[in-house]
Amino acid sequence: MALFQSSTSTLPEVTPVPRHIAVIMDGNGRWAKQRFMPRVMGHQRGVESVRSIVKACNNKGVGFLTLFAFSSENWRRPADEVTFLMKLFLKVLEKEVSKMHASNIRLRIIGDRTRFDEALVRHIENAEKLTAANTGLVLTIAANYGGRWDVMQAMHGLIQANPNRTTAFEEDELTPYLSMNYAPDPDLFIRTGGEQRISNFLLWQLAYTELYVTDTLWPAFDLKAFELALESYQKRERRFGRISEQLKGEKNA
Ligand code: IPE
Ligand code: IPE
Ligand code: MG
């Protein structure tokens, strides 16, 4: 797959349907609490929202969908919740990967895998291998992912490849080493659950992404809620530092 340049160096094509949507799936715990259920029931129900947004993106011709499933900071949660989330991740892989494959979806997992147990790592590798040649939606799950971790591991890769370099590195030299080097920067960022923060998600890649926050909690985020996010996106004017008039004129003005 081609490597993409950062939206800060070239003017990306703006299409009515975003090429890349990145989502912080937040609010599972609150959804369960409102229903007097244990928090983990919210995670369980959240899987249904994942299914419906994946299907919608695949149908609409969205190229890339990236879902934040577990952050590098989420290890700080109570141990039983962390264990539940890891088991749920494994269960979802076991159950859904063949269906995704049948729908021509390519699955990729980004994040630090070194803390996952062996069975989970094996399932991740198998899922990526099985779906590697698929040409439909590229679904990325960010698991034990942190934006700062990503920038640091990319820097490490860059320096290792250029051990004797004494001159400064350029921005575009780093991007091939980032976890999402196979995707354009996200066009649309959706956060459910109402918090107005990035929580260490794709820090580098979100530089010019349109941000959309909704109070809807993730398990309640249905097709209608997704359409509202797309409608909001379509009303935006993406200027990438330029002025309005330049956008109607020459492409790279
Ligand atoms: C997001 O929902 C899922 C994960 C972080 C794994 P939360 O579990 O953060 O739900 P709230 O924010 O507590 O409601
Ligand atoms: C962000 O949600 C991480 C995921 C959805 C995986 P959090 O619930 O962990 O974010 P904070 O702690 O409220 O910032
Ligand atoms: Mg949360």
Show the tokens assigned to 213.
């926050």
For ligand 1, which residues put their CB under 6 angstroms from it? Answer: 25-30, 70, 74, 85, 193
Give the residue, by CA position, lying nearest to ligand 1 atom 13: 29
Q: What is the CATH number of domain 26-236?
A: 3.40.1180.10
Helix axes 118-131, 79-102, angle to 10 degrees: 20
Query: Taking residues 145-152, what's their average pLDDT?
Result: 98
* Domain definitions of the chain by residue range: 26-236
pLDDT of residue 247: 85
Task: Tell me which ligand sits closest to the C-alpha of residue 88.
Answer: 1
Mean pLDDT of the chain: 95
How many C-beta atoms lie closer than 10 Å to residue 89's C-beta?
22
- How many whole angstroms from 11 Cα to the centroid of ligand 1? 34
Give the residue, by CA position, lying nearest to ligand 1 atom 3: 26
Q: Is residue 253 over pLDDT 60? A: no
Q: Is residue 23 over pLDDT 90? A: yes
Euclidean distance between the first and final Cα of the chain, in Å? 28
Closest CA to 185 of 222, 219, 210, 214: 210
Show the tokens assigned to 169.
């590195």
d(CA 39, CA 30): 7
For ligand 2, which residues put their CB under 6 angstroms from it? Answer: 24-26, 68-71, 74, 195, 197, 199
Q: Which residues are catalytic?
A: 26, 74
Do the Cβ atoms of 3 and 177 come closer than 8 Å?
no
Band (154; pLDDT cuts 50, 70, 90): very high
Percent pLDDT > 90 in the chain is 91
